[in-house]
Amino acid sequence: MVRDRSGARSNLSASLGDYLTGDGNCWSWGWSVNRSYDNEWTGDDSTKVRLRAACDARAYAAIGDDTTVPPMSSSHRSYGSQPPARRRGLWIAVVATVIVAAAGALTAVVVTHGHSSRTKDVAQHTTQHAQGVTTPVTPNSPKAHAPAGPPPKTVRVTSDLNDGDKVGVGQPIVLNFSPSPTDSSAFTKAVTVTVNGHPANGAWYWEKPYADQPIQAHYRERSYWPANASIQVKLPIGGRSAGKGLAYAGALTSVTFTTGDSHVSTVDYASRKLTVTSNGRVVGTFPVSLGAAATPTYNGIKVVMQKGEDAPGTDTLRPNGTVMMSGPGYSNDPVPWSVRITASGEYVHAAGWNTNIGVRDTSNGCTNLKPADGKWFYNFSLLGDVVQYSNTDGDPMNPLDGLGDWNIGWSQWTQGGQLLNH
């Protein structure tokens, strides 16, 4: 049998001490063994013979190769002559070391049915001293562990959405990181998204909107969110790995928001009309003027990302949804009822100066509406509403130009972008 570490010293003393000194003390046991060496083992007690063999085996296991210790006899005969004093002193020290080591359960000598065995603890580590004697080092010793490395760098996480926000059905979940994670596996395994309490069927896509900015993680389903739904993101990622030497902060733990009615608008270049639906029902059709040949409007799916703009240095919107625009034909001019749909500067806005609305395309890429129509659309729109463009002369919508997530095919999206999903 093998003794556990906590009971080794007392159990060995109780089991063997009576044969040697009768007091169960390990140091007394060591002295008794040495005394037996001086005066020889006598009598016919076979248990003493087995103990002698066990201690002899343990002694050889505990000393270096360059130290010679006279073996204990396995019979009842004497050694014939006393070993030199130097050897005797070393033998006393070695035997004492053997007993103390045995009491620590690093090596247990077990006597059963006339056989001895040596059992090595699986966590045993040793270190070599100058005298050539090998002594144990416990797993809790400083030498048993490699020095700790520097603490991981903290990756801060923020959300474009706040608790309680109400958005359109095309609004992706957008998380921002600083600095950028380099591995998404821990994140994607830990984070969950639910729709009305049920697991969502979406995926994360990692992208950098601009090369000099940290990476973002966007989440969407294969189709738009359902209307009037409650969506929750749980982020139990604090302390988890964000890549080698990186760990997520734990400040942001969840975000809960809702969707409004399903607002999906379509703009057809051929008819020059904007058709607006709410929950699948047409609620408005308006003439438009799109981008001129030199500044065509992009094709694809766009999402409302801003309504109007704040006055400089404040958190207050300019009146009437006004945006100060610059570009060909503009010089920081106020444009009312402006709904932004791309980061590069496309808007759906009122353009009372444009007499070509519904007739010709003369804008700088924006979708021009008559003033009353522009005001209606502004008031109707939610951040996250969808505006789909088809048949324009412009290039396909760049997925990184604002919230162009819906222009990425589902099979590509589920792969994860710049950080692969696992």
Active site residues: 349, 366
- Which stretches of 174-330 are DSSP H helices? 185-190
Task: Give CA–CA dist 348/304, Å, rounded.
Answer: 9
Task: Give CA–CA dist 407/398, Å, rounded.
Answer: 8
Burial state string for 34-46 with b = 16 or more CB within 10 A and e = fewer than 16: bebbeeebeeeee
Task: Give CA–CA dist 406/399, Å, rounded.
Answer: 7
Q: Residue 38 — φ and ψ, nearest 5°? A: -70, -40
Task: Give CA–CA dist 362/414, Å, rounded.
Answer: 39
In sequence order, what are the residues at sequence separation of 6 or more whose Cβ sits closer than 8 angstroms to the Cβ of residue 366?
291, 297, 345, 346, 347, 348, 349, 351
Give me the count of residues in the chain. 422
Distances (CA, A) of 367 to 311, 318, 331: 23, 21, 18
Distances (CA, A) of 366 to 317, 342, 383: 21, 10, 18
Q: Where does residue 34 fall: left (phi above 0), alpha (psi -120 to 50 degrees), or beta otherwise? A: alpha
Using CA atoms of 411, 184, 249, 405 in order, give the dihedral in degrees to the nearest 10: -20
- Among the listed residues 145, 167, 308, the one whose alpha carbon sits nearest the alpha carbon of residue 230: 167
DSSP string across 122-139? TT-EEEE-TTS-EEEE-T
- Among the listed residues 228, 181, 179, the one whose alpha carbon sits nearest the alpha carbon of residue 204: 181
